[in-house]
C-alpha cells in the first residue's frame, strides 16, 4: 500500500510540474534590459514573425545618430556607426558598449571635404572584410585591419563615377556573386543638393562588380538610401528617403545583374507628417518578408508589399540588421540601439 501511495505521489508531482511548465509558456518573459515602444499589428500574419509578448529592448543609448548595424557572428558582437562622431561602436551581450573604430569615415583622404562625418552603412564581403560606406571620404572602402584587431586602415573600393566624386555612399548589399550594390545620396554633404562639393547632378544607385567596374543602375530616385535583396537575389529593394516621395521601390535583377521593371513596393508619404522617420535601411528575412525602417519605426511587409505591422520604436529609426540565424532584429534608432526577438523562418 505504501508503495502504491508513493507512486501516486510522484505521478502527482510530475503532473503538477508539467502543468506549471505549460502555464509558464504563456507568461511574458521579463527582459534584463529596459524596453521601449510597442508592436503595432495590422495583420495576424505578423504573429508568425513576432511573438505577441515580444518586447523592444534598449541595449545601449547616448549616440548622436546611430546607423549601419552589423552583427559579427565570430565575435558575437554588434557594431554600428555613430555618423556625426566619426566612430563605430561595438556591443556584446552582458557587456558595456565600447569603441570599435575611430575614425570610421573621414580620414582626410578627401582634403576638400566640408564634412567630417563618419561611416554609415556597414557590411562584410565574402572574405569577412569590413566594408564601409564612408561619408566624409565620399567613398566605399574596405578596412584592411582584421576584424578582431580593428584599426583605421582602409583601401578604396570606389570613390567616383566617370571621374566625378561620389556624393556620400550610404548603404550597400552584396549579391550571391560578390557584386556590390550601393546607394549614393547627398546626406554626407553639407547643404545637401546645394553643396558646392556635389559633382554629380543626380543621386544614384550603383553596382560595383567583382572586377572593379562601376555601373550606374538608377539615377531617377531623389534620395536613394537603404538597399537589400530578396532571398534568391532576383529582386532588389531600394528606399527613397524623400519626405515628399517617401517610398520603397523594387527592381527585377536581369541576367546581366542590372535593374529592370522598377515598381513601387510601398508608398509611405502619407505617414510622414504624423510619424517620426523616413524610408531608410532595410533587411529581408529567409521567407522574403521585408523589415524596413521608416515612419514610425520598422515597418514589416510581406513579399507582396502588404504592411503587416510596425515595430514602433518611438524614435526616428535609421537601420536594422539580423543576427546570423535571424532570430534577433537589431535596430539603430536615433540615440538608441535596440533589439527584438523574432520567430525564425
Contacts of 106 by beta carbon, 8 Å cutoff, 6+ apart: 86, 113, 115, 116, 117, 118, 134, 135, 136, 137
- Fold: same for 33-57+234-246+274-345 and 63-220: yes
In sequence order, what DSSP letters do the residues of 7-26 get, joined into one string? HHHHHHHHHHHHHHHHHHTT
d(CA 51, CA 227): 27
Three-state DSSP class for 309?
A: strand
The residue assigned the cell 523562418 is 345
State the pLDDT at residue 3: 45
State the pLDDT at residue 196: 72
Asked whether the beta carbons of 107 and 71 are under 8 A apart, the reply is no
281-329 tens-digit pLDDT? 999 999 999 999 999 999 999 999 999 999 999 999 999 999 999 999 9
What residue spans define the domains of the chain? 33-57+234-246+274-345, 63-220
**Nearest Cα residue to 185 out of 281, 321, 261, 264:** 281
Task: Give the total residue count for the chain.
Answer: 345
Q: What rounded mean pLDDT belongs to the chain? A: 90
Cα pseudo-dihedral 50, 69, 83, 194, rounded to 10: -70
Give the global pTM.
0.90
Q: Cβ atoms within 10 A of the Cβ of 152, count?
A: 15
In sequence order, what DSSP letters do the residues of 95-125 get, joined into one string? S--EEEESSSS-SSSSTT-S----EEEEEE-
**CATH topology for 63-220?**
Neuraminidase (2.120.10)
Which superfamily does CATH assign the domain made up of 33-57+234-246+274-345 to? TolB, C-terminal domain (2.120.10.30)
State the pLDDT at residue 60: 98
For the chain, the straight-line distance linking the first and the last C-alpha, in angstroms and rounded, comes to 52
Q: Is 178 left (phi over 0), alpha (psi -120 to 50) or beta?
A: left
Q: Is the pLDDT of residue 13 over 50?
A: no
Amino acid at each position: 500500500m505504501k508503495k502504491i501511495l508513493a507512486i501516486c505521489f510522484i505521478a502527482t508531482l510530475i503532473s503538477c510540474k508539467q502543468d506549471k511548465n505549460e502555464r509558464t509558456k504563456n507568461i511574458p518573459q521579463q527582459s534584463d534590459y529596459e524596453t521601449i515602444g510597442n508592436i503595432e499589428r495590422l495583420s495576424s500574419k505578423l504573429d508568425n514573425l513576432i511573438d505577441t509578448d515580444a518586447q523592444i529592448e534598449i541595449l545601449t543609448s547616448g549616440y548622436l545618430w546611430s546607423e549601419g548595424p552589423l552583427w559579427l557572428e565570430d565575435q558575437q558582437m554588434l557594431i554600428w556607426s555613430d555618423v556625426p562622431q566619426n566612430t563605430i561602436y561595438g556591443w556584446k551581450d552582458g557587456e558595456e558598449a565600447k569603441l570599435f573604430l575611430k575614425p570610421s569615415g573621414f580620414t582626410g583622404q578627401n582634403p576638400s571635404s566640408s564634412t567630417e562625418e563618419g561611416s554609415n552603412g556597414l557590411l562584410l564581403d565574402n572574405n569577412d572584410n569590413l566594408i564601409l560606406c564612408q561619408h566624409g571620404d565620399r567613398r566605399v572602402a574596405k578596412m584592411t585591419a582584421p576584424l578582431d584587431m580593428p584599426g583605421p586602415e582602409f583601401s578604396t573600393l570606389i570613390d567616383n563615377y566617370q571621374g566625378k566624386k561620389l556624393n556620400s555612399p550610404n548603404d550597400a548589399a552584396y549579391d550571391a556573386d560578390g557584386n556590390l550594390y550601393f546607394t549614393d545620396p547627398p546626406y554626407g554633404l553639407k547643404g545637401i543638393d546645394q553643396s558646392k562639393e556635389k559633382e554629380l547632378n543626380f543621386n544614384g544607385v550603383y553596382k560595383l562588380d567583382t572586377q572593379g567596374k562601376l555601373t550606374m543602375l538608377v539615377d531617377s530616385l531623389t534620395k536613394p538610401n537603404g538597399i537589400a535583396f530578396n532571398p534568391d537575389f532576383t529582386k532588389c529593394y531600394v528606399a527613397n528617403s524623400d519626405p515628399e516621395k517617401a517610398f520603397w521601390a523594387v527592381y527585377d535583377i536581369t541576367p546581366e545583374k542590372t535593374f529592370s521593371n522598377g515598381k513601387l513596393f510601398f508608398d509611405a508619404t502619407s505617414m510622414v507628417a504624423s510619424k517620426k522617420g523616413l524610408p531608410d535601411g532595410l533587411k529581408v528575412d529567409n521567407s522574403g518578408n521585408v523589415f524596413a525602417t521608416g515612419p514610425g519605426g520598422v515597418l514589416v511587409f510581406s513579399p507582396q508589399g502588404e504592411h503587416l505591422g510596425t515595430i514602433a520604436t518611438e524614435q526616428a529609426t535609421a537601420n536594422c540588421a539580423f543576427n546570423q540565424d535571424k532570430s534577433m532584429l537589431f535596430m539603430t534608432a536615433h540615440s538608441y540601439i535596440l533589439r527584438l526577438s523574432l520567430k525564425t523562418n
